[in-house]
């Protein structure tokens, strides 16, 4: 089937890396793996980060004009060049979908949304128009794929009768995160490059260095690890961004001998480093779920993370890692200590983590799920 693919928040070809861009690209791959043809839509960003009502109205007007152009183009082309499904990834009050509902309705094709989030508390506030657009998209959808369990409570009641709500686990390409060499061998190969003692546990934190929630996670991580300076460990930090100076400052009390800043790493280099580590540590403050948590577990690396929002959907507490209450550095420290002190527990959790990711969060699984959904939608709309 021809699938029109659209990302109102950040297009898949955006130059700045993020978890959102990564998942958009993975959805494109998963749809293509099912034998479907991706049809490009305008790289039209509806995002308004500051709550500017005038900007939102301008974005809405532009979106309506673009939708009319798409409708005209596809209504006048040969049937084989028209989309048969419209697929939008990530809709919320800061980035509503002003294209998909109108185009799908005019062409009479199913409208699918992956990762829709509705925040009723935004009603009447600076993002009220974006919220209205998001609610309209949810009500127009024939199917919604929910990657974050926290979204279901507000999204499902707004859906139209007969629409399908699917819990759809976040996914990665596990082929890029496969332990090709034993951990000690991988560690030895990086020893000279990183200048790190291979005999002590290696912790790793992965996160973009930007202000807001990411910086807050780094700050809590610094607080938590400062309470474990009597233990043996080294922290590798992967990430970069505008808040790098603040991140380095907040982690400085841990000591230069314990810290290695590796900057931004592409997937293959990241996999090589992750495969040499013992434990991923990340507070995940206000994160939807966290792609790096899946990537670590795919390599058999257990996780200590904050347990808010959808993190519990990708980390099984007590089985593949340990989850702690958000904003509780002492609890985070205790969880890190527990895993640092028990190599057997790390090994057991790491094995369970890889098995779970392969079973529930793999790209091929996502491709099969999307293919089955598209077939159901085509049959029901025939």
Maximum pairwise Cα distance, the chain? 71
Lookup result for tokens 């546990």 = 201
Residue 106 reports pLDDT greater than 70: yes
| pLDDT, tens only, 141-182 | 999 999 998 899 999 999 999 999 999 999 999 998 876 667
Q: What is the pLDDT of residues 20-49, one digit of tens each?
A: 899 999 999 999 999 999 998 989 999 999
Domain at 174-360, CATH class: alpha beta
pLDDT score for 49: 93
* pLDDT value of position 194: 83
User: Contact, 317 vs 377, CB < 8 A?
Assistant: no
| Length of the chain as a residue count | 382
For the chain, domain boundaries: 2-171+362-381, 174-360
Residue 185 has pLDDT above 90, yes or no: no
- So what's the pLDDT on residue 198? 77
The set of residues, in sequence order, having a beta carbon less than 8 Å from that of 78 and lying 6+ positions away, is: none
Residues 353 and 320: beta-carbon distance below 8 Å: yes
Q: Token pair for residue 212?
A: 């807001």
Same fold, 2-171+362-381 and 174-360: yes
* pLDDT, tens digit, 9 for 90 and up, residues 220-272: 999 999 999 999 999 999 999 999 999 999 999 999 999 999 999 987 888 88
Strands of the sheet containing 303-306, edge to edge, are: 259-263, 234-238, 202-206, 279-282, 303-306, 321-324
Per-residue confidence at 120, pLDDT binned at 50, 70, 90? very high
pLDDT for position 184: 74
- Please tell me the CATH code under which domain 2-171+362-381 is placed: 3.40.50.2000
- Tokens 């974006």 correspond to 130
């Amino acid at each position: 089937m021809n699938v029109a693919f659209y990302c109102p928040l950040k297009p898949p070809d955006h130059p700045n890396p993020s978890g959102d861009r990564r998942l958009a690209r993975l959805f494109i791959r998963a749809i293509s793996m099912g034998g479907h043809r991706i049809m490009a839509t305008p790289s039209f960003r509806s995002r308004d980060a500051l709550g500017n009502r005038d900007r939102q109205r301008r974005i809405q007007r532009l979106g309506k004009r673009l939708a009319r152009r798409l409708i005209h183009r596809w209504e006048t082309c040969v049937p084989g060049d028209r989309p048969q499904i419209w697929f939008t990834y990530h809709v919320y009050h800061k980035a509503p979908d002003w294209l998909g509902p109108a185009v799908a309705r005019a062409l009479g094709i199913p409208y699918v949304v992956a990762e829709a989030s509705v925040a009723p508390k935004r009603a009447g506030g600076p993002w009220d128009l974006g919220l209205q657009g998001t609610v309209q998209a949810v009500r127009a959808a024939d199917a919604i794929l929910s990657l974050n369990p926290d979204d279901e409570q507000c999204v499902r009641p707004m859906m139209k009768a007969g629409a399908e709500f699917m819990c759809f686990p976040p996914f990665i390409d596990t082929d890029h995160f496969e332990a090709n060499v034993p951990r000690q061998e991988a560690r030895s190969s990086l020893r000279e490059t990183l200048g790190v003692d291979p005999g002590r546990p290696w912790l790793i934190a992965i996160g973009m260095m930007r202000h807001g929630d990411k910086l807050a996670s780094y700050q809590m991580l610094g607080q938590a690890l400062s309470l474990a300076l009597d233990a043996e460990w080294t922290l590798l930090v992967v990430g970069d961004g505008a808040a790098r100076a603040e991140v380095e400052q907040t982690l400085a009390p841990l000591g230069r001998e314990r810290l290695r800043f590796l900057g931004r790493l592409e997937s293959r280099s990241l996999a090589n480093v992750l495969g040499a580590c013992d434990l991923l540590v990340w507070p995940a403050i206000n994160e939807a779920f966290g792609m790096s948590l899946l990537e670590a577990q795919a390599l058999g690396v257990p996780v200590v993370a904050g347990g808010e929002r959808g993190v519990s959907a990708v980390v099984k507490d007590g089985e593949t890692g340990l989850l702690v209450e958000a904003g509780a550095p002492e609890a985070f420290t205790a969880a890190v200590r527990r895993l640092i002190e028990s190599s057997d527990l790390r090994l057991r959790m790491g094995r369970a983590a890889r098995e779970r990711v392969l079973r529930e969060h793999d790209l091929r699984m996502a491709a099969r799920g999307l293919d089955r959904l598209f077939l159901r939608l085509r049959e029901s709309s025939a």
